Structure formats: C-alpha cells, structure tokens
A and B are shown apart, each in its own frame.
Chain A
Amino acid sequence: MIDWPLVSVIIFLPLIGALIILFIKEDELTSINIKWAALLTTLGTFILSLILWLQFDYSNPSYQYEEIFRWFDDFNFFYHVGVDGISLFMILLSTFLTPLCILASWNNIKKRVKEYMLSFLFLETVMIGMFASIDILLFYIFFEAVLIPMYLIIGIWGGNRRIYASFKFFLYTLLGSVLMLIAIIVMYRNTSSMSIEFLQGNYFSYNTQLFLWLAFFASFAVKIPMWPFHTWLPDAHVEAPTAGSVILAGVLLKMGGYGFIRFSLGMLPEATEFFIPLIMTLSIVAIVYTSLVALAQTDIKKLIAYSSVAHMGIVTIGIFLVNQQGLEGAMMQMISHGLVSAALFLCVGVIYDRMHTREIEFYGGLVQRMPLYATVFMIFMLGSVGLPGTSGFVGEFLVIVGAFKFSSYVVIGAAFGIILSAVYMLYLYKRIIFGTITNNKLADILDINTREKIILIPLAISVILLGIFPNLFLDPMRLSLELIITNYEIANAK
C-alpha cells in the first residue's frame, strides 16, 4: 500500500489549487491562466483518485487508506478519513466530473472567473471530504459546506430567477441540516463516539432510532430528492449555470443516497425496518408522478431535472430493499445517473451556449446541422432510458430483481419507470434533434467543437463501459455493502 496520506492529498489538492489561483491577478489576459490552473488541479486530483481505485483491496469490506488524528483533546472528535467500497465510486464520480465542469465553463463564464473557479475547487474539496469522512461531525461540516459554493454558483452565475431558486434551495436544505445536527448531538450523547465505523451497528433504543431516523430522513430526502421534497431541484437546475447543474445532478443528489446507506441502514436498522413502507410508497409515487410531470415540461433542463427525481426513486427503492441486488442496483443507478444526467446537462449546455435558450420549442432538426452532437446525445438519452448495454440498465434491472423478493407492488412501480422514461426522453429527443430546421436562427448552428468533444466523449465511453462491464464497479463495492446488509439483518433478527 501507499504510505503517504493519499486520501487527504486528494481532498486538499483542489484547495491548494484554489490557494494558488487566489494569487493570480484577474484581468483579460490572465483569466486563461486561472482556468488552466483550475483544470490541471482537478485533473491531478482525478488521476490520484484513480490510484485509489487501482490499489483498492476488493477483499476488505471496511475502510482502507485510513488516516486519523484527534482534533480536540477532551472531546472525541477526530479528523478521520478513509475509503470503502461505497464511498470509492462517489469520490471517483466527484473527481471525474469536476474537470469536465471546468472545461464546460471555459468560455461561457465571463464575469468573476477567479471567484467561479475558486468556488468549484472549494466545492470539490468538500465533496470528496464528505464522502471520505469516517467521523460524523467531520461529515456534517463537509456536508453543510457543500451548500456555500453551490449557493454562490447558483446565486451569482445563475439565470434570471436565480435569487428565487437559491432561496428555495437554501430553505429546503436548511430544514434538514438543523435536524441532522441535533441528531448528531443525540448520537454523541448516547455513545460518546462519532466514528461512523463504530456506530455501524445497533446502539440506540428503538424510540431514539425512530427520532434519529426522521431527523436524518429530513436531510437526505431533501438532498436526493424524494417526492414531495423535490420542487427545489427543477428550479435550482434551471437557474444554475451548466457546470452547476452537472455537479448538482452528478454528485450532490448522491449525498442523499450515500447518507441513507451509511446512516439509516448502517446505524438505525430497526427504525429503517419500520419506515420501509413509507420510503417505498414515496419512491413509487416519485417514479410515476415525476415521470409524468417530465413529459409536460417545456424547458429542457427542467425535464431532465424531473427525470432525475424519477431515477432517484429507483435508487431509494433499491437502498431500502436492503438486499444484495437492491443495494448494488441502487449504487449502480447512482453512478450511472451521475454520468448520464451530468452528460445530459452538458449537452443542454452546448446548445444553450450557442442559442441562449432552453425552450424545447425553439429547437428542432438539430441533427441536420449537428450530427455528432445528435450521436452523443443519443447515447446519453439511451443511458437515461436504461437500454441494456448502457449504464442505466444494470442498476434499474438489479433493483427490479431485488424488489421481487420484497413486494410485487414495488416491482410494478419500478418497472413502470421503464415505460415512462422511454416516453419522455424519446419525445424530448425527437423535438430537439429530429425533424427539419424550421427556426432560422438555427440555420448556422455549429456542431460540437474539440473542447466539447473532450468533455462528452469520455462520458459516452463510460456510459457504455458501465453497461457492458458493470463488474468493474460491482466487485469493489460488494463486500462493503454485504457488511451493511449483515449488520442490518442481525439487528432486526433480535
């Protein structure tokens, strides 16, 4: 193994990059240097995170690359980070998407480039930090810190209704945060420990579990988001700049799913058992309801945002099935959605940069002018539809397989998503890409350029790679998930 603190380096490398950028004076000429510095930093982080994957020990279910030191003397609060099979891919997702975000913002961010790049680098640090934390308080600090750059990115570089969107985003998330902080304090008072590793068990009385579960639920259900806490998402997406949407859909939504697995399943097994019917009902409503709402949208980004809620419905079903297929399916679905929806938002960004509108009606017939764009868009659309051979299929199907053991109603609900996702995505694709160009403004629209190719093609390749060789991803996460399931079953068998 590596004897230098790899995880910490990955966490703080973007912050170091940010420090360097801080000392670059911003003007017309140097803004390019700022962009390059940001890009190189994030690329370096990505390469380092690949080492995490390559050196990862598949036969070890618990944390690897652990680093720990005490932060306060009279208080069991540690700087404790590490990676296990569950967080590994969440970290990789963050490090993979951030450089693409920087590239996607290369030309379309014109004001305050320096602050923008600083926000993104800071965001990357806190995202990775959150997934790598093994201490609850550390987790909480990172979890909340994500809000700051995101709030700024939407509020400063966003669209016209950015104030309303960021206000809504903040209001929802704040509610969850407060309750979560209380829950963490309760946990510490009960056990005098803040180690996620230690708390993975069944340490709380039944009633305490119920309270804690609801407190965490308030936070994660808003983040992921579950119906009916989802309405902040479409607004936030629509107003956020492209790269903001990418991170929002690609990584931030996964914080909810990740939290459910770690906290609800891992630490509060008995309460989870009690609340499973609630989650299943909300998830099925989410799949059917938001899929239909997606169908009626007139704004491309809003449509994709609603489809995200539906896809996350599959994730929550998978997580709370608490069996091997369900959990692995949910993880695969999260990874897949992280790539596919990020890619779809990037695709929207491509035409938004050219035309400055996201109205579906404005477009039509793009394939006549942008064949390459149409092709990559097609691949991501199929990933979103869950065609076998793309990443979307594996997760969705594993969840359906896992759900059969649980309840036939859930199977029907989850499988219903198969039909509806095809309807709204194909309908969207038809309206934007196919047909003849009727809008004169589109007559000279250019196909994707080299920079955009560099962004989109790796994503397209990974969408297909995940579909054909899902075991690359399933193998490392298997034992960590098994550990969660075993703990859960032991707790509920009592």
Chain B
Amino acid sequence: MATSIIFLPLLGFLFCFLIGKQFNYKVYQISTTSILFLCTLFSWIIFIQFINNKETEIIFILNWITSGNFIVNWSIRLDTLTAVMFIVVTTVSACVHLYSIGYMEEDPSKIRFMGYLSLFTFFMLVLVSSNNLLQMFFGWEGVGLASYLLIGFWHHKESANKAAIKAFVVNRVGDFGYAIGIAGIFYIFGTISFDSIFSQVDRFSDHQIQFLSFSFPTLDFLCFLLFIGAMGKSAQLGLHTWLPDAMEGPTPVSALIHAATMVTAGVFLVARMSPLYEFATFTNLFITFIGAATAIFAASIALTQNDIKRVIAYSTCSQLGYMFFAAGVGAYNASIFHLTTHAFFKALLFLSAGSVIHAMHHEQDMRKMGGLFKKIPFTASMMWIGSLAIIGFPYLSGYYSKESILENAFYASNGIAYFAYLVGILTALLTAFYSWRLLFLTFHGENRSNNKTYDHAHESPLVMTAPLFILAIGSIFSGIFFADYFIGYYKKEFWDNAILLTESSHKYLPLTQSLISKSAVAVGILVCVLIYSNNLNRAKNLSYNLDPLYSLSKNKWYVDELYHKVFVLTFFKLANFFWKRGDEKTIDGLGPNGVSWIISKSSSYVSLFQSGYLFHYAFAMLGGLVIILTWFLYY
C-alpha cells in the first residue's frame, strides 16, 4: 500500500506528460485528482495503523548505487514520522489538485499543471519515506525541480522566471551543505542509511573531525552541514529570500509547495535525524537561534506587505522559524506537530487567498480590496478560521502546537532557548496583528477596488470551496485530535522511536507566562483593530511617523538589494574578468597567440638577412671566415 501511495502520483504525472493531448483535459484533471484522493485514503489507513502501534517497516525496492562500500538502495521506510508526513502531503495535495481544477479553469496549460502537481507529490512522498540520506536527497532535489517548474509555470512572465531561478539557486546553496553533509556522514559512519547511522552515534559523541584545517566536534559539524540544507529548503534567515518571490507561481502551488509541504522538508530532515542532532549541542543552539530570528524577522516584514500572498508567505517563513526553534530545543514532536497543524491552516489560508484572487480577477493588492465579506462570505469565513488557527485561538489547531513549542522553549533551560521563548511570544503578537490586518483589508471596511471588479466579485465554484472546507475541518480539529498522540499522553507509544523524545512528562507553562503569551495575542489584535478598523488614514499616518522602521519592514530589510550587490554583481564582474582578462588576454596571449606572434615576428627578422645584395652576403661570408679561422688558431 505504501508503495502504491508513492508511485501512483508518478503514474499520474507520466500519464499527463507522455500521453497528454490525447484526451479532453478533463480526463487528466479527474484522473490525477482521483489518484491523489486514493493516496489520501491509503495514507489515512496507514496512519490509523500506526496509531494502533504498527511496527516500523522497511520495504526494499532496488539497489541504486554500489561503489565500493558506498551502497545505496531504493527503499521505503514506513514509520510513524513517515505516516504523519504521508497524511499531510497527500491530504493537502489532494485538496490542491481538486482546487486547481477550478482555479486553473481559464489557463491553456491545465494538463501540464496537473502533471507537475502530481510530479511534485511523488518527489515529496519519496523524500518523506526514504530510508537513507541519498534517496532523501533525490526527493529533496526533485521537489526543488517541481517547485522551479511551478514557480515559473507562467513562463511568459519575466518575474516568474526570475523567481524560479532564484528559488532553485538559493536552494542549491543549501544543497551544497547537504551534499557535503551526506559525504561526511558516509566518511564517518561508513553508511548513509538511518538505522545504521543511529546505532553508531554513541561512539562518536566525543569524536573530532578535521575540516579546512580546523577541528570540529564531528556530530556538531555534520548536523550543521545538514542544517544548511534545511535552511535553504525551509527558507530560514539568510536563505529565505526565494520564498516570497516564489509567490509568482499560481496560488495552488503556493499552498501546496510553499506553505504546507516542501518548505517543511527542512524541519522533517532535522526531526528524521533527531538521534544525531541530540548530540550536536552547539548546532542545536544555532538552530534555536536561527529559528527564533527567522520567526520574528519574517513576521516583522509581514506587517507591512500589501500583496495578500506575500503576507502569507512571510507568515509561513515565520511559522517555520517556530518549528525550527522547537527542534533546536529538542522538542521534535512539538515541531512535527506544528508542521502538521500548520500544513492545514496555511494551505487553507493560501487557498482562500486564491479564492479571493479568483473572485477579484487576479488582483492581489490588498489596498485594492476591502468589504469583500458581503460578496464572498464563504471564502471570508474560511479565511477567518485559518487566521484564528494561526494566531493560536484556544482549541483550534494552532493553539495546541504553538503552546507546546513555547512550553518546550521555556523549560529548555538555556539562554538561547529563553531568548527563543521571548521571541516566540513577541512573534505571536505580530502574527495576530498581520493576520487581522489581512482580514480587515480584504474583507471588511469599505470597498477600495473599482466598482466593476467589486460587482463582478463572486463566490468560487464548488471544486474550489470543497477543498477549503476539508482544510478548515483540519485546521479546527487536527490540534484537539492529534495532541494526545503527538505531544500528550500516548506520545511514547505513538512515535515508537521514529523521532527522539527528550523529556518524559508534559509540562504546562506557569499561569503567569501562559497569560502573558495569550495577552500578547490579544494586544496584537487590539492594536490592529485600533489602526485598521475604520479606514486606512490612521495606518498611513503611522507609517509616515515611523518611517525608518516602516521602510525597513516594507523593503524586507533590504536583504535582496544587499545580496544583489554582494553576490550577483560580484559574480558577473568576476565572470567577465576571468573571461576577458584571464582567458583572452593572459592564457591565449601567452599561449597560442603569443607563440605564433613570436614565431612570425622572429621569422620576419630572420628574413631580413635575405636582402639579395651581393655585398651583404660577401660581408657575411667574410665575417664567418674570420670566426672560423680564429677558432682554429686557438685550438
């Protein structure tokens, strides 16, 4: 069953790719979508088996690479972590497939789109079900490819093409770390399959490794390299710049790839390798710090963005930061829990945003929306549910997972974890603010679009609203349903060593702390209500008064500009320098062109001797005679 979950989407892709255009486009839409619903069904069956304590299972498929003692197999690892990721990926993917039928109605390349979505799902499933690091890398790069293809799906748009390249290249920077990490793990452990690595971890806890003439603690070093990969894929601070630009892709893509599944692959990697990370003290502090910094950094940008999708994109970035600092303090289960709930409510937010954009004829600027609640009440309510879930409204899904993360950070008892905890509370405030701002600007207040667009705004068809409904159910109930298994009473039986569980008892925050975190959210909402409730004048005045801060946030802290100056321009300058000065002037100049120049020059000098004047030759003969005679006289 697990095998069919993985390969059915591939079949769907091949069907679209190899025999596209044979049938009506509806055939492809229906077949890929129903394949995904079938996969979802299977995934939930497997998940329920794991709730009932099914054993970890490894399905061998084929030997992939054998080179000396470097042996890698294609295989499927079926454990609790895989099962959790299966339900997340297939459920969201099925919803997105269904939704796309409606959303892409007017697009001429519907078949290609469905094919790419299925291809992405295949790679993502390979990633989460891999039993070794290299097969995971296959999935890892595969989802990167699918993401590249889908961001640049509208390939006539220059901005989309640029964003696609940016996403791929920034991810590659992360992969640079990941690839070296895999090689390093093989060098140290002599294997790259998970169980064999984990069984040897103890032996290397005090081991040192030499790298670039420095000495590092081995496990810290390897975990750090893998984490660079995770930073790229999960858009953490420094390598985050691609994610907002990735919003150039169609909105269903943003929901599936850039919110719910692919970007969480980094978190998944850390959780999967948790027995290794447990020994990487320094790297864990680093992860905690980066996670916390990303959380607040991205949230601070989300405050002022006007593009509805960009707000949600930065929000994703910020929530990924939460997941990472949870992992950094050793709460891998809380991290995966937040990953799961986040998948539901973030996919819901994105798809609702898509529904808004669909209603507004591809308008994404929130300044040109407003008052849409009356026109599209269903979408608006779904957006409300998603927003409530993300800010952690009690008993919705986000509440459980975010609380759990804060608890773990609070009790982790190290300085950086406490910093992360404080940042977590502050970010919760900002999250509440920007979520409310989004709701206000889009659905409430007066209409700011032109009247024609507003009048034509209409609720989306059933194929688009049904997925919203499914995801809304998930956003509301996934917390309350899963909490006991993921972080609560049954967690030990449930996880069954699929990830590392650090502390045994579940602790709640002290009452004061709990109140502080909840009031932070309330403050965020309150401030937002004060600023945005009537019209935009107050917001405009405020942005004017807080100018340096406002510009910093509005311009994304100028990171893109900085990278452009420091990396892109330098690279192109270097490239031209090497080409013109290095290759053409130096190598060719001294090499073939130089040699031929010397030869032709010297031959032209030599040819001067052939003057044709008899007295020249006579003189030369005389000179020669003198030299020869002198030589004979001496010897």
- The residues of A with any CB-CB pair to B shorter than 8 Å are 167-168, 171-172, 228, 231-232, 289, 292-297, 323-325, 328-329, 365, 367-368, 382, 387-389, 393-394, 397-398, 400-401, 403-405, 408-409, 411-412, 415-416, 418-419, 422-423, 426-427, 430, 433-436, 468, 470-471, 474-475, 478
Q: Nearest chain A CB to B219's CB is how many angstroms away?
A: 16
Q: Nearest chain A CB to B563's CB is how many angstroms away?
A: 13
Question: In the complex, are the beta carbons of B187 and A404 less than 8 A apart?
Answer: yes
CB nearest neighbor in A for B192: A401
Question: In the complex, are the beta carbons of B583 and A388 less than 8 A apart?
Answer: no
Asked if A418 meets B571 with Cβ closer than 8 Å, knowing A323-B68, A398-B65, the reply is no
16-70 of chain B: CB within 8 A of chain A? 63-70
* Partner of A231 from B172, B176, B591 at Cβ < 8 Å: B591
Question: In the complex, are the beta carbons of B579 and A293 less than 8 A apart?
Answer: yes
What residues on A are CB-neighbors of B419 within 8 Å?
A: none
* Partner of A368 from B134, B142, B156, B182 at Cβ < 8 Å: B156
Distance A478 CA – B596 CA, assembled complex (angstroms): 45
* Interface residue SS majority, chain B: helix
Asked if A401 meets B183 with Cβ closer than 8 Å, knowing A367-B155, A470-B64, A471-B63, the reply is yes
Question: In the complex, are the beta carbons of B169 and A400 less than 8 A apart?
Answer: no
Q: Nearest chain B CB to A415's CB is how many angstroms away?
A: 5
Question: In the complex, are the beta carbons of B165 and A426 less than 8 A apart?
Answer: yes
Question: In the complex, are the beta carbons of A292 and B575 less than 8 A apart?
Answer: yes
| Contact string against A for B residues 181-214, beta-carbon threshold 8 Å, 1 for contact and 0 otherwise | 0111011000000000000000000000011100
* Partner of B179 from A394, A397, A468, A474 at Cβ < 8 Å: A397
Distance A167 CA – B211 CA, assembled complex (angstroms): 45
Check: B529 CB closer than 8 A to any chain A CB. no
Question: In the complex, are the beta carbons of A231 and B583 less than 8 A apart?
Answer: yes
Check: B180 CB closer than 8 A to any chain A CB. yes
What residues on B are CB-neighbors of A387 within 8 Å?
A: 141-142, 145
Asked if A324 meets B161 with Cβ closer than 8 Å, knowing A171-B595, A293-B578, A403-B183, the reply is no
Distance A251 CA – B595 CA, assembled complex (angstroms): 28
Question: In the complex, are the beta carbons of B176 and A292 less than 8 A apart?
Answer: no
Distance A404 CA – B68 CA, assembled complex (angstroms): 14
Question: In the complex, are the beta carbons of A418 and B141 less than 8 A apart?
Answer: no
Lowest 4 CB-CB distances: which A-B pairs, in order?
Answer: A324-B68, A296-B575, A388-B138, A404-B187
Distance A468 CA – B64 CA, assembled complex (angstroms): 7
Question: In the complex, are the beta carbons of A411 and B180 less than 8 A apart?
Answer: yes
Check: B175 CB closer than 8 A to any chain A CB. yes
Q: Nearest chain B CB to A214's CB is how many angstroms away?
A: 18
Question: In the complex, are the beta carbons of B64 and A471 less than 8 A apart?
Answer: yes
Question: In the complex, are the beta carbons of A435 and B161 less than 8 A apart?
Answer: yes
Check: B510 CB closer than 8 A to any chain A CB. no
Asked if A389 meets B138 with Cβ closer than 8 Å, knowing A426-B165, A435-B161, the reply is yes
Check: B289 CB closer than 8 A to any chain A CB. no
What residues on A are CB-neighbors of B134 within 8 Å?
A: 388, 397
CB nearest neighbor in B for A292: B575
Question: In the complex, are the beta carbons of B180 and A435 less than 8 A apart?
Answer: no
Distance A436 CA – B175 CA, assembled complex (angstroms): 31
What residues on A are CB-neighbors of B155 within 8 Å?
A: 367, 433-435
What residues on A are CB-neighbors of B592 within 8 Å?
A: 167-168, 171-172, 231-232
Question: In the complex, are the beta carbons of B571 and A419 less than 8 A apart?
Answer: no
Question: In the complex, are the beta carbons of A418 and B156 less than 8 A apart?
Answer: no
Question: In the complex, are the beta carbons of A426 and B67 less than 8 A apart?
Answer: no
Question: In the complex, are the beta carbons of B68 and A325 less than 8 A apart?
Answer: yes
Identify 15 new A-B residue pairs, CB closer than 8 A, beyond the known A231-B592, A408-B210. Answer: A168-B592, A293-B582, A324-B70, A325-B68, A397-B134, A400-B183, A401-B186, A403-B183, A404-B184, A419-B172, A422-B169, A426-B169, A430-B162, A430-B165, A433-B155
What residues on B are CB-neighbors of A289 within 8 Å?
A: 578, 582
* Partner of A293 from B66, B137, B575 at Cβ < 8 Å: B575
Cβ-Cβ contact count across A and B, 8 Å cutoff: 148
Distance A362 CA – B490 CA, assembled complex (angstroms): 64
Q: Nearest chain A CB to B507's CB is how many angstroms away?
A: 42
Distance A140 CA – B192 CA, assembled complex (angstroms): 43
Asked if A325 meets B66 with Cβ closer than 8 Å, knowing A388-B137, A426-B169, the reply is no
Q: Nearest chain A CB to B190's CB is how many angstroms away?
A: 11
| Chain A to chain B contacts (Cβ below 8 Å), 26 pairs | A167-B592, A171-B592, A171-B595, A289-B582, A295-B572, A297-B579, A323-B68, A324-B69, A388-B134, A389-B141, A400-B179, A400-B180, A401-B70, A401-B183, A401-B187, A411-B180, A415-B180, A418-B172, A422-B168, A422-B172, A426-B164, A426-B165, A426-B169, A427-B165, A434-B155, A435-B155
572-602 of chain B: CB within 8 A of chain A? 572, 574-576, 578-579, 582-583, 587-588, 591-592, 595-596
Asked if A418 meets B165 with Cβ closer than 8 Å, knowing A296-B575, A389-B142, the reply is no
What residues on B are CB-neighbors of A296 within 8 Å?
A: 572, 575-576, 578-579
CB nearest neighbor in B for A482: B68
Check: B561 CB closer than 8 A to any chain A CB. no
What residues on A are CB-neighbors of B211 within 8 Å?
A: 408
* Partner of A329 from B67, B141, B145, B187 at Cβ < 8 Å: B67
Question: In the complex, are the beta carbons of A325 and B67 less than 8 A apart?
Answer: yes
Q: Nearest chain B CB to A366's CB is how many angstroms away?
A: 10
Distance A427 CA – B164 CA, assembled complex (angstroms): 10
Question: In the complex, are the beta carbons of A471 and B65 less than 8 A apart?
Answer: yes
Check: B158 CB closer than 8 A to any chain A CB. yes
Distance A474 CA – B173 CA, assembled complex (angstroms): 29
What residues on A are CB-neighbors of B578 within 8 Å?
A: 289, 292-293, 296
Check: B370 CB closer than 8 A to any chain A CB. no
What residues on B are CB-neighbors of A367 within 8 Å?
A: 155
150-176 of chain B: CB within 8 A of chain A? 152, 155-156, 158, 161-162, 164-165, 168-169, 172-173, 175-176
Distance A287 CA – B126 CA, assembled complex (angstroms): 31
Q: Nearest chain B CB to A206's CB is how many angstroms away?
A: 29
* Partner of B67 from A365, A412, A474 at Cβ < 8 Å: A474
Question: In the complex, are the beta carbons of A409 and B212 less than 8 A apart?
Answer: yes
| Contact string against A for B residues 67-98, beta-carbon threshold 8 Å, 1 for contact and 0 otherwise | 11110000000000000000000000000000
Question: In the complex, are the beta carbons of A325 and B70 less than 8 A apart?
Answer: yes
Asked if A231 meets B587 with Cβ closer than 8 Å, knowing A325-B67, A408-B211, the reply is yes
Distance A171 CA – B162 CA, assembled complex (angstroms): 42
CB nearest neighbor in A for B63: A471
Question: In the complex, are the beta carbons of B176 and A416 less than 8 A apart?
Answer: yes
Question: In the complex, are the beta carbons of A419 and B176 less than 8 A apart?
Answer: yes
| Contact string against A for B residues 121-156, beta-carbon threshold 8 Å, 1 for contact and 0 otherwise | 000000000000010011011100100100010011
Asked if A324 meets B67 with Cβ closer than 8 Å, knowing A172-B592, A231-B591, the reply is yes
CB nearest neighbor in A for B576: A296
* Partner of A295 from B173, B186, B571, B587 at Cβ < 8 Å: B571
Question: In the complex, are the beta carbons of A231 and B588 less than 8 A apart?
Answer: yes
What residues on A are CB-neighbors of B148 within 8 Å?
A: 426
Q: Nearest chain A CB to B215's CB is how many angstroms away?
A: 11
CB nearest neighbor in B for A323: B68
Question: In the complex, are the beta carbons of A388 and B142 less than 8 A apart?
Answer: yes
What residues on A are CB-neighbors of B212 within 8 Å?
A: 408-409, 412
Question: In the complex, are the beta carbons of B176 and A418 less than 8 A apart?
Answer: yes
| Contact string against A for B residues 88-113, beta-carbon threshold 8 Å, 1 for contact and 0 otherwise | 00000000000000000000000000
* Partner of A328 from B67, B161, B179, B575 at Cβ < 8 Å: B67
Distance A404 CA – B225 CA, assembled complex (angstroms): 14
Distance A10 CA – B578 CA, assembled complex (angstroms): 44
* Partner of B169 from A294, A328, A393, A419 at Cβ < 8 Å: A419
What residues on A are CB-neighbors of B65 within 8 Å?
A: 394, 398, 470-471, 474
CB nearest neighbor in A for B213: A408
CB nearest neighbor in B for A467: B138
Question: In the complex, are the beta carbons of B172 and A404 less than 8 A apart?
Answer: no
CB nearest neighbor in A for B137: A388
Q: Nearest chain B CB to A317's CB is how many angstroms away?
A: 13
What residues on B are CB-neighbors of A172 within 8 Å?
A: 591-592
Question: In the complex, are the beta carbons of A411 and B183 less than 8 A apart?
Answer: yes
* Partner of B70 from A295, A398, A434 at Cβ < 8 Å: A398
Distance A389 CA – B69 CA, assembled complex (angstroms): 21
Question: In the complex, are the beta carbons of B180 and A412 less than 8 A apart?
Answer: yes
What residues on B are CB-neighbors of A405 within 8 Å?
A: 187
